Amino acid sequence: MKSILLTSTALVAFAGAAAADGHSGISYALSGTLGYNEEIDGIGEDGFYWEGNLQTTATAELDNGVTAGAYFEVTVAGDNNDANDDGGQDLASSDFVLSLSSETASIFFGDTGTAADKHWVSAGNMEQDQFTTGTDSAVLRGDVAFGGVDASISYIIDDENGEAEQLSLGAGATFGAYSFSVAYEEDTDFVDGSGDFNGDETFGISAEGTFAGATVTLAYADTDGESSTGIKVGYPIGPVSLTASYVDESNGDANWEIGGTYADGPLTVTAEYEDNGESGEDITIEGSYDVGNGLNILAGAVNENEEDFDFYVAAEYDLGGGAEVLFAYAQDDDGDQGDEIGAGEYDPGFTVEVTFSF
């Protein structure tokens, strides 16, 4: 355990030493949002809301061909329902990543993905590819590239005691028109607060190839003795991209989906049907039209688990100089979509929002 902790400590010290040498570059991305939402049935912002976000990226080129990097994000946010936030002074830091990288090997520490999550390629809605995709704890991951193969190993670092938990392995390779991936995570008694964490032993293997213009993916995954076996096919026909998948589940009914996207000039339309076995059926229809002069019209309808259709209409207008205004109306009668209706994740009710990027 000490070696892992020393590695992360050395990572911080090494990056600091590189910056001190003067071989560094620092960039910033700043954005601000001010909006107003009239909620429906207690879901939504219900009044004014605001947020500011600062992203800082720093890199340093070392003399031995290694690049030291650091990234962190700071957010300030508020709404008119919190009498104690002093106009939006609730400050939160998140998404920090420290790294050392070269052409053949890299090491990352912080809010980064696990080895399995980095390399795994699924084939449709596979219920048993339950790899950890997010944690509330830091991740220490090492990547290496050799002979056309990219491989990774990672551990989750327990915030309470600094110990390494849940070994994760992943690898991927591409040979001509074919690619392969394999991933593994061990079972663990460690409990992470994130809903994207899974403590069961999980294994997966997949292969993908292109045949007569169609991209075919085959995959198998196993979590704690239950398995998913899937096939997914994507095929472009002019302005239309079609996709279909079928997944056989050892525990329960099969999952399958079919969908397509039409994109030609200013018009884009996407339609998708999913049969999720015992979980029910989902239907999604969404589209956008670029009117020109910075105006984009969007609309969509979502039916999840055979409940009512939730819908939205929205307009985005580019004000220039990194500023954009949004007008939206969304409705969700039974509240099953919460405040994330459609691809734009709109709040129920009327919303007006201005975003600035610098």
Q: Which domain holds residue 219?
A: 112-228
Q: Which of 108, 131, 158 is the last residue of a domain?
A: 108
Residue position matching structure tokens 């049907």: 273
- Whether 92 and 132 map to the same domain: the answer is no
| Measured distance CA(126)–CA(276) in Å, rounded | 10
Say what the alpha-carbon torsion angle 246, 250, 251, 255 is, to the nearest 10 degrees: 0
**pLDDT of the residue at 14:** 40
- Whether 190 and 269 map to the same domain: the answer is no
| Measured distance CA(260)–CA(272) in Å, rounded | 7
- Whether 156 and 197 map to the same domain: the answer is yes
Residue 253 DSSP SS3: coil
Q: Which conformational region is residue 266 in: left (phi greater than 0), alpha (psi within -120 to 50 degrees), or beta?
A: alpha
Q: Which of 179, 206, 228 is the last residue of a domain?
A: 228
**pLDDT of the residue at 332:** 82
**pLDDT of the residue at 351:** 95
Per-position pLDDT tens, the chain of length 358: 333 443 444 344 444 444 445 457 999 999 999 999 987 666 667 789 899 999 999 999 998 889 999 999 999 887 665 544 455 567 777 789 999 999 999 999 999 999 999 999 999 999 999 999 999 999 999 999 998 899 999 999 998 889 999 999 999 999 988 999 999 999 999 999 888 999 999 999 999 999 999 999 999 999 999 999 999 999 999 999 999 999 999 999 999 999 999 999 999 999 999 998 877 899 999 999 999 999 999 999 998 876 678 899 999 999 999 999 999 999 887 666 666 889 999 988 899 999 999 9
Residue 256 lies in a domain: no
Give Cα 10 distance to the centre of its chain: 29
| Measured distance CA(299)–CA(238) in Å, rounded | 23
Gyration radius of the chain over CA positions:
23
| Measured distance CA(103)–CA(65) in Å, rounded | 8
- Whether 273 and 333 map to the same domain: the answer is yes
Give Cα 258 distance to the centre of its chain: 22
CA atoms within 13 A on the CB side of 175: 6
- Whether 83 and 123 map to the same domain: the answer is no
Say what the alpha-carbon torsion angle 274, 236, 129, 146 is, to the nearest 10 degrees: -170
Do 326 and 355 touch, CB atoms closer than 8 A? yes
Pair of tokens at residue 231: 């096939």
Residue 34 lies in a domain: yes
Residue 18 DSSP SS3: helix
Residue 119 DSSP SS3: helix
- Whether 3 and 104 map to the same domain: the answer is yes
- Whether 94 and 120 map to the same domain: the answer is no
Residue 213 lies in a domain: yes
Residue 249 lies in a domain: no
Q: Which of 174, 200, 228 is the last residue of a domain?
A: 228
Residue 248 lies in a domain: no
- Whether 94 and 117 map to the same domain: the answer is no
- Whether 1 and 45 map to the same domain: the answer is yes
Global pTM reads: 0.85
Residue 235 lies in a domain: no
**pLDDT of the residue at 92:** 77
Domain count, the chain: 3
Contacts for 144 with CB less than 8 Å, ≥ 6 apart? 104, 105, 106, 150, 151, 152
Give 308's DSSP letter.
P
Residue 240 lies in a domain: no
- Whether 48 and 117 map to the same domain: the answer is no
| Measured distance CA(248)–CA(218) in Å, rounded | 12
- Whether 117 and 221 map to the same domain: the answer is yes
Residue 258 lies in a domain: no
**pLDDT of the residue at 27:** 95
- Whether 132 and 215 map to the same domain: the answer is yes
> Would you list the DSSP string of 184-239?
EE---S---S-TT---S-EEEEEEEEEETTEEEEEEEEEETTEEEEEEEEEEEETT
